[in-house]
Amino acid sequence: MKIIFYDNNIVVVNKPGGLLSVPGRGPDKQDCVVSRVRRLFPDIIDQPAVHRLDMYTSGIMVLARTKESQRLLSMQFEQRIPNKKYMSILDGIVTKKEGRIELPFRLDPHNRPYQIYDPIHGKKGVTIWRRIAIEKQCTRIEFQPLTGRTHQLRLHAAHELGLNTPIVGDILYGRGHEGDQMMLHASSLTIRHPLSGKSLTFCSKVPF
């Protein structure tokens, strides 16, 4: 894990794929972004995470160092103010050049953490996407999620009502296997600084 930026209010990291964002249940799930940041910044608040990346997703993640910063950053994410961009490689050819996906989905309580399409009880996820390139039998896609639902981009890529082409390495919705690198990277995040209100953009080089 690499620290990209920090001041008295926020810490921005580049999270590697395979690392949890926050602690899970059990002693084997305590290594995460929050615990590593806490070792580097002992004065940080108990709940610094204001958003999360899936365990297998790599890239930019911001944490709050103070309660006030946590409150203000959380409000930004609730109001969908941050601009988030992800780069991904999908396991197949996407023929369209760009589009917008709106799909409602929810947790399958009998198969956690799997999410399922549910037009009645699901919460709508919205994603704007554009095709960057065709690479052999795969497609490089830039995603811009407008909402922050669990597994949103993974579902929008894989579901037949989305792109019908799962992310390479996705073990839940695609053909990936345990230990594979999932080709989904949070490459850019723009937020307002919680103290100054200044717009800040953080970028991370795509590792694939």
Positions annotated as catalytic residues are 54
DSSP β-ladder status, 83-90 and 10-15? unpaired
Give every CB contact of residue 21 below 8 A, 6+ residues apart in sequence.
15, 32, 33, 34, 49, 52, 53, 54, 55, 61
Structure tokens at 61: 């993640």
* Percent of residues in the chain assigned helix, strand, coil, to nearest 5: 15, 40, 50
8 phi-psi bin (left φ>0, alpha ψ -120 to 50, beta other): alpha
